[in-house]
Structure 1
Amino acid sequence: MYRDLEHRLAQHIREFLRSSYGVDLEKIVIEQPRVELGEYAMPLAFELAKKLRKAPRKIAEEIVSDIGSIDGFAKLEVAGAGYINARVDRTALAVALAKHDKPAVESSSGKVLVEHSSINPNKAAHIGHLRNAILGDTFVRLLQFAGRTVDVQNYIDNTGVQVADVVVGFLHLDKKSRAQIEELAGKPRFDYYCWDLYAKVSQWYEQSAENKKVRLQTLHEIEEGRNETAAVAELISTAVLRRHLETMDRLDIEYDFLPRESEILHLHFWDAAFEKLKEAGVLSFETEGKNKGCWVMRRAGTSGVARAPSPAGNEAETGAISSTVDQDPERVSEEDQKVIVRSNGTVGYVGKDIAFHMWKFGLLGRDFGYRKFYSYPNGHQCWISAEHGEPEHPHFGDVERTYNVIDARQSEAQNAEIEALRGLGHGEYADKLTHFSYEMVALTPRCAAELGYELSEDDKGRAYIEVSGRRGFGVKADDLLDALIAAAKQEVNSRHPELAESERQKISEQIAIGALRYFML
């Protein structure tokens, strides 16, 4: 729509200059000024000054006075020494946008998968998660508007370190039983309780090396599954996940499928991927150095893959099947290696992600079980992965292209997953895996201080401070939404006291959510 307006403006200006001044400008330069000055700014009068032997402002005034109306624009104005600013007719634009006229394009036969949000289910969602979800949801809407069929997926890391940390907090710091945790999980904002506990656990780890060992043991038990620790992790992560969906539902953000890491492990997605990666020489087993006992792959951009035979004992520990791997003459330095399977047999998130991406493109030969998990007010159903699912379910995966909405800090991990697909001989799919990268949200020291956080002298001198769940440092998503709605409600109440309370509340929510979505883009 805006491109059409820009093209129309340039074409009208070009025709006017040709008929009024006999001047033919091949290109009309159009810039974006500050919003209060209009939507478009044109410095063309400066370019014409020498040819017409007039002052730029005089030329700009003549053009604005004589050009007449332009469809889609409210008016043209002269600014400064000779700029011409164009203001869009916003009423007409709003009416046109409200029609929801889709472009005349044919939908591709291939299905697109967009993975976004992917919040660790261990605590409340924060402002950084909101940016991811809003970017992802906006991209999904653009693809759908263009006629694409889109699967919206929210990857749930319910077996990772972050969930393990909260489990440690409940079992070892709070000393709570599963029944007590279940009672807490039924409360409205259980995710807030987990937020505070997660920060306490991080401090507890710093007290001794023995405390950190508890994390590794807990993580191992969660990945193994079918034990009390794994049951507690399932209880906590499911309750927090449901809260995340409720939070995003406030923004009208919906998902089709929630694939979980627990099923990637227990349905042996990783085992199948692990064998394929070893057979292709993508992974190697380290017998010395700081990565001794680990399965590693070379980092993207380095050459050579280290290949060494694995002892049978380690293969049994990781669930691998014996395979013959030749020694590569060119060893990859430890700095160029990415650990996929740790020496204690636990699988890093990149390894599980590789298996997941193989499933996305239909390359794994395995599938999830599916069960219904969350129903939206409009009737849309969100499904979740399961070991034993319902017999009738939608078909997910096996897509033509996939986009991962993940912040720029995860670029290395995303590149590793792309390189793994190439190493497996699936370069065509590697080219169809796109990292939708964006910069993270941060707080200014002033904002952090206003929120009541204690800042060190170093923090006070920084331009911004990263949101950190481990420090309990950040703005919770629901708190931000509540504050924005309250601020909008105050304004709506003062301007429209004649409206019913329910109508004022609805308008306040629309304003707050619209403002937040716009700001996050």
Structure 2
Amino acid sequence: MTFRDLQNQVRAAVLVGLKEAGHPEVQFDVSEPPRKEFGDLTCNVAFPLSKQLKAAPPKIAQELINHIKPHLGQFSLISSVEPHPAGYINFRADYAQLSTGTLASVIGGKGDYGRVNMEKKHVVIEHTSVNPNKALHVGHMRNVILGDTLYRIMKAANQDITVLNYVDDSGLQVADIIIGFKFAGFPVEPPDGRKFDQYCGDEVYVKVNQLYEKDPSLVEKRKLVLREIEEGKSELAKFAAEITKRVLDEQLKTCWRMKVRYDVLNFESQIVVSQMWTKAFELLKKEGLVRLEQEGKNKGCWVIEAQGEEDKVVVRSDGTATYIAKDIPYAAWKLGLVPDPFGYAKYADQWDGSVLHATTLAGEKGQFSGGDRVITIIDSRQSRLQRIISQVLGRIDTGRHDYQHLGYEAVTLSAGTAKALGIDIGEKQFVHMSGRKGVYVGADFVLDHLRDKARGEVRTRNPEFSEKQVDEIAEEVAISAIRYNMIKQDLDKIITFDINESMSLEGDTGPYLQYAYARSQRILEKAGMDVQEARFELLKEQPEIALIKEISKMDMVVEDSAKSLSPKALARYAYTLATAFNAFYEKVPVLKAESKELLAARLALVKAYGITLGNALSILGITALGKM
């Protein structure tokens, strides 16, 4: 029995009260009250009833309570019910029952406590999708980490998930670095030995864009390169494919370092060659979703009528398709609205032992089945485009269309960080990152610096550790610091990244959660006894009750996070759980408990907490460390 069961019993008790009072059933909410003294759950049923009965909510609430009290015996998790002066009905939990039910299920379970069995659906998640011409920077990390955490949440909610990474291997950004290698004299191999993706982005891409202003002939060559890449047949196109793969491989190493995994890589060049757009275009014309403009600024263009917004050109007057012409068929493919033209080949073994596949235009076709729910993670600057795509898909397939854009605001650099990098931003407090201008902080750079700072902390606290142990723990601490920092933020808020603040290992951070977990394991290690059963009803202290209450909520938080697409909700839960444990640890003696029975009960509580927080951290992509 968990907090969900308590909530269900409260709802059932209210329904009994309504029936006994002879009142009609109405829609009502059961939620946690704003203040602890009001109880564990509160119900607003008297307010919607007051409109029908033409009576004051406090009077209705008291009447319902009078009818509920005689039946409390059938609700084992409810200890009492009482009115609030405003008209709410407040319920208190029987913590002897809730503690026994919750802690026994955590300790006696299969280690999967907190996971929830939602109705199984095929959920397709696309994230990362960084142009293969540069290394990932800290702005990309927000996308990558959000996408991977959402995958983990959906997996914990019993969903069948396919994770996609879209590779734009035929765009201008790729053409830029090919110009650098073939026409601007840049050596293919990095002269300073740095990672190939960093070399392409930091050196070649930035300097080629500067050269365009000085040498207009390079701009004309870029058009040539872009056309040959899209056709995919020339030696230049083969060279571009080799470069793209090298950059992509380095990008994947960075993502795998952050404990991120994928199922399938999709390549834009294959979407072009496969004629998916041609088929999708015919479908759009058949359904009357596009029209050929006969006059005005878009004369000769095919446009989509965007509901409530300016029409969007999909095919220019010269017959060339715009970028949305590639996005629409790809989105339709993700939903299974167009035939799957791809074969699938093994691309790599990933860090977790799973196989990463890549689409091909050879081999057995049609292995991908469209998603019941498609979630595309792209920053909010693409919101208009995503709304148009969603409108188009909804008009093609009104029956089961479920295409969602999960947007987020950008990551900017603080003034201090910009200054440290030698970037002059004048009097501004922050600056937006730009790969073209070379204004960004690389993901590997951030991870390396976080790891180096963590290494010193770990060595100071654990002088007996070997260098290998210190390095392994420091790497996990660095990953937790950056992952949690990205997850805990509101999606609609800009993150101003400060490299010094990000390295803090205290406060509302990933390392704080890891340390709170390690502290619980140290208590269990010192106790030297494995507790499987205990008298949980002995746990009556307020810090004990508060901790048990938080433990009992995990499955509800996971379900809410999955339904609302809110990784932050799970991050907030993990932090609240950790702070509840630390309050318990500081105020309640565990190893020096007054009796053996109480010692066993408190150790069992510590063990249940460790399992719960460890599972929450795992879903967040953070390793629970036994020592740090």
Q: What do residues 374-426 of structure 1 show as CA deviations (whole Å, max 9, x unaligned)?
A: 1113321001111114x5x9932322111011111110111121122234x31
Asked if 1:227 is matched to 2:238, the reply is no
What are the residue-to-residue correspondences of 1:263-274 with 2, within 5 Å? 263-274=270-281
C-alpha change, 1:252 and 1:104, in structure 2 (3 Å) is closer
Name the amino acid aligned to 2:117.
V
The amino acid across from 1:165 in the alignment is: D
CA deviation digits over 1:470-510, x for unaligned, max 9?
Answer: 11110111111101101100111111111111111111111
**Corresponding position: 1:509 with 2:516:** no
Q: Does 1:100 align with 2:112?
A: yes
For the residues of structure 2 that align with 1:213 and 1:3, how far apart are their CA atoms? Answer: 65
What is the alpha-carbon root mean square deviation over aligned residues?
A: 3.6
Q: Of the candidates 196, 211, 214, which is equivalent to residue 190 of structure 1?
A: 196
Residues 226 and 27 (structure 1 numbering): CA distance in 2 closer, same or farther, change over 3 Å?
A: closer
Closer/same/farther in 2, CA of residues 256 and 99 from structure 1, 3 Å limit: same
Mapped pair 1:436 → 2:406:
yes
Q: Are 1:361 and 1:429, in contact at CA under 8 Å, matched by a contact in 2?
A: no
What amino acid is the match of 1:376? Q
- Is 1:164–2:157 an aligned residue pair? no
1:16 alignment counterpart: none
Distance 1:6 1:488 in 2: 42
The answer on 1:354 being equivalent to 2:320 is no
3-state SS of the aligned residue for 1:155?
strand
SS of equivalent residue, structure 2 residue 405: strand
Match of 1:22 in 2: none
Question: Does the CA contact (< 8 Å) of 1:421 and 1:429 recur in 2?
Answer: no
One of 102, 113, 117 as aligned partner of 2:124: 113
The amino acid that maps onto 1:415 is R
CA spacing shift, 1:2–1:244, aligned 2, 3 Å: farther
CA drift of 1:161 comes to: 1.8
CA distance, structure 1, for counterparts of residue 394 and residue 464 of structure 2: 64
Q: Is 1:379 matched with 2:353? A: yes
The one-letter amino acid paired with 1:516 is I
Matched residue SS, 2:258 = coil
Q: Check conservation: 2:116, 2:156, Cα contact below 8 A.
A: no
What letter matches 2:329 in structure 1?
Answer: A
Task: Give the Cα separation in 1 of the matches to 2:393 and 2:343.
Answer: 24
Change (3 A) 1:345 1:396: same
- Give the C-alpha shift of residue 468 in structure 1: 0.6
- Aligned residue for 2:397? 426
Question: Once the 2 structures are TM-superposed, how far is the Cα of residue 95 of structure 1 from its aligned partner?
Answer: 8.6
Secondary structure of 1:359 counterpart: helix
Give the 3-state SS of the residue equivalent to 1:340 in structure 2.
strand
**Aligned pairs for 1:247-396 within 5 A:** 247-286=254-293, 289-302=296-309, 336-389=310-363, 391=364, 395-396=367-368
Higher helix share: 2
Shift of 1:352: 0.8
Asked whether the 8 Å contact 1:120–1:158 carries over to 2, the reply is: yes
Q: Which amino acid counterpart does residue 388 of structure 2 have in structure 1?
A: A
Give the letter for the 1:137 counterpart.
D
Using the size of structure 1 for normalisation, the TM-score is 0.71
1:259, 1:385 within 8 Å by CA — same for their partners in 2?
Answer: yes
Deviation at 1:289, TM superposition (A): 4.8
The SS at the match of 1:388 is coil
How has the CA–CA distance of structure 1 residues 228 and 387 changed in structure 2, closer, same or farther, with 3 Å as cutoff?
A: same
Kindly indicate whether the alpha-carbon contact (under 8 Å) linking 1:300 and 1:412 is maintained by their aligned counterparts in 2: no
**Distance in 2 separating the partners of 1:362 and 1:491:** 50
CA 1:283 to 1:380, structure 2 compared with 1: closer, same or farther past 3 Å? same
Q: Distance in 1 between matches of 2:148 and 2:305?
A: 33
Amino acid in the other structure paired with 1:474: Y
Asked if the contact 2:289–2:304 (Cα under 8 Å) also holds between the matched residues in 1, the reply is yes
Alignment-derived partner of residue 373 in structure 2 = 401
In structure 1, give the amino acid aligned to 2:486.
Answer: M
Instruction: Give 3-state SS (helix, strand or coil) of 1:255's partner.
Output: coil
Which of 223, 229, 244 is residue 237 of structure 1 equivalent to? 244
SS of the residue corresponding to residue 482 of structure 1 reads helix
SS of 2:378 mapped into structure 1: strand
Deviations 1:207-265 (A, max 9, x none): 46554333333222221221133222211211111111100111110000001111101
CA distance in 2, matches of 1:337, 1:408: 19
Give distance in 1, aligned partners of 2:233 and 2:278. Answer: 18
Which string of whole-angstrom CA distances, capped at 9 and with x for unpartnered residues, describes residues 159-206 of structure 1? 1122122222222222x6xxx63x559966111111121111222233
1:428 aligns to what SS in structure 2? coil
> Quick one: distance in 2 between partners of 1:95 and 1:499?
30
Identity score, percent:
36
Query: How far 1:71 sits from its partner (Å)?
Result: 8.4
**Structure 2: runs of 5 or more not aligned:** 12-29, 40-91, 488-628
Residue 278 of structure 1: CA displacement? 2.4
Q: Does 1:473 align with 2:480?
A: no
**2:3 and 2:140 mapped to 1: Cα distance?**
30
Aligned counterparts of 1:160 and 1:102: Cα–Cα separation in 2:
43
Which position in structure 2 is the counterpart of 1:499? 465
CA distance in 2, matches of 1:233, 1:397: 30
**Structure 1: segments with no counterpart, 5+ residues:** 12-25, 31-40, 46-66, 74-90, 303-335
Tell me the residue number matched to 2:387: 415
Contact 2:342 2:366 survives alignment (8 Å): no
Which among 154, 160, 165 is matched to residue 154 of structure 1? 165
Instruction: Tell me the secondary structure at the aligned position of residue 100 of structure 1.
Output: coil
Q: Size of the alignment, in residue pairs?
A: 412
Structure 1 distance, partners of 2:343, 2:411, is 35
TM-score (norm 2): 0.59
Bigger RCO of structures 1 and 2 (CA < 8 A, at least 6 apart): 2
Distance 2:140 2:283 in 1: 33
- The 1:289–1:4 alpha-carbon spacing in structure 2 relative to 1, beyond 3 Å, is same
Q: Aligned equivalents of 1:158 and 1:472: distance in 2?
A: 21
- Distance, in Å, in 1 between the alignment partners of 2:207 and 2:173 is 13
Contact map agreement 1:185 1:236 (CA 8 A) in 2: no
- CA distance in structure 1 between the aligned counterparts of 2:243 and 2:462, rounded to whole angstroms: 43
Q: Distance in 1 between matches of 2:109 and 2:209?
A: 48
TM-superposed deviation, 1:152: 0.7
- Paired AA for residue 160 in structure 1: G
1:486 partnered with 2:452: yes
Kindly tell me: are residues 468 and 427 of structure 1, through their superposed partners in 2, closer, same or farther at Cα, counting changes over 3 Å?
A: same
